[in-house]
A and B are shown apart, each in its own frame.
Chain A
Amino acid sequence: LNPEVWTALGVSLRVATSATLLVALPGTAIALALARAQRGTVWRSLVETLVAFPLVLPPTAVGYLIVLGFARDGPLGSETIGADLGVLLSFRGAVLASSVMALPLFVRTARVAFEEVEPRLELMGRSLGMSRTQVFLRVTLPQARRGVLAAFVLGFGRALGEFGASAVVAGNVAGETRTLSMAIYDSYQVSDPSIVQYVGVAALLAFVLMFVAERLLARRAGSRARSSGGSA
């Protein structure tokens, strides 16, 4: 394998891991809030729409909006806040862009998992004197763990495949923001035969991730079918 393939793979894994960790807390909070919110209310629809936004907006547009925010004269730029956050054309930028793109998938998967937790179990926990945090950690999360894990895997996978937004925000810096997807684009431009290796590694990784997510979600559905009795 070309050593540059390892470098790009390393960058991809570091970016995707950081992005998943960055998304985990806000993503879980939003998913839980949405799962518990009454269906059909306007604010719930509004939050759902905002979260889903990056899913349909062209990734390059997401990237451009981030650049506007962090540009020198932007609301979060060095001239405005007096310090350079070092987001553009850097590892941080790649992580931020991938997080924004991974959030919708994470929230949607985790939300469904939380919605399937029996509210009765949570109520029982509360009546036994548990705090809200205890109920979440000892009842809700264990019940929803497969779905939440799948959310992590899918979010990680989305971050790993990210190209458009990070290309605009983080660019192409070898060893820092040159991810597998960037390397594939790059080597295609110059008809570099290494492209086969990049694509091979990316495909293998994507297959493993999707298979794991599939197993997590399938078994959760299976156990639900079993626990609901042998009517089928």
Chain B
Amino acid sequence: MLAALLSGCAQDERLEVFAAASLRDVLTELDHERVAGGAAPLRLNFGGSGELARQILAAGRADLFLSAGALELERLVEGELVLEGSRRVLASNRLVLIAPSGAVPSDPLAALSEVRRLSIANPAYVPAGRHARAWLEQRELWERLGPRASLATDVRAALSQVESGAAPLGIVYATDAARSDRVEVVQVISDGSPVRYPAGILRESPRQALAADLLDELAGPRGRALFARHGFEPPDQAEAR
């Protein structure tokens, strides 16, 4: 019985997808649709892209990796863990400055430089945090705000910290801000480095064909519509920027 539990049923059909935390809604919805259409459910593992890349480097278990930053996928490419030619950009996103609903400062940028606590994803291993830090550095605010920054484990955690009011301001993706009615977008940060979502199939994957199908689906009309519905922009948008 234990063996049956461990092996699971139709386990070979189940793709193991490691995906950036900001893709949670898109992939969960896609999974529901696929299961309704008779496909085997996905095994979804969400987290900060850097943490996921580290997990793949350490255990090498995933079939497909959907990253919120080029750098994290690059680490796997360097380690020769990604199937050649499987890499493609699926969508793009924007960073936004957010505040708890009903506590939006009248002058966001002045409020930002004086803020007691700024919540961002940890720049050391989360793309959203890395982009946020790059933007703050560009505005010469990082030196001042770095010591006051609460470094969340992923971008959704940064969202939670602003939702509860623990941090009066935070920087997350537009898509994260859009899904919460407890925060408001104070300012769209558009001059930061482009935020792309590249994906790649892992070389060690025993389910490469299935993974390629899923990737095609995500890059195809159905995937594009799904990304758009959740507030993502098409990949070429990022390419152009």
Contact = CB atoms under 8 A, between A and B. Distances in A.
B126 to A, nearest CB: 9
Interface stretch (B9-17, B81-89, B145-153): B145-153
A72 B167 CA distance: 10
Interface in A53-93: 67, 70-74, 77-79, 88-90
Interface string A186-230: 100111000000000000000000000000000000000000000
A191 B165 CA distance: 32
B124 A67 contact: no
Interface in B132-161: 146-153, 161
A67 B147 CA distance: 22
A90 B167 CA distance: 10
A72 B147 contact: no
Interface SS of chain B: helix, strand, loop or mixed? mixed
A47 interface: no
Assign chain A's interface to a size class: 20 to 34
A190 B58 CA distance: 12
A171 B166 contact: yes
Given A89-B150, A171-B150, A171-B151, A190 B124 contact: yes
Given A173-B150, A174-B147, A190-B125, A78 B117 contact: no
Interface of B: 48, 50-51, 54, 100, 103, 117, 119, 122, 124-125, 146-153, 161, 164-167
8 contacts: A71-B164, A74-B164, A171-B150, A171-B152, A173-B147, A173-B149, A189-B50, A189-B54
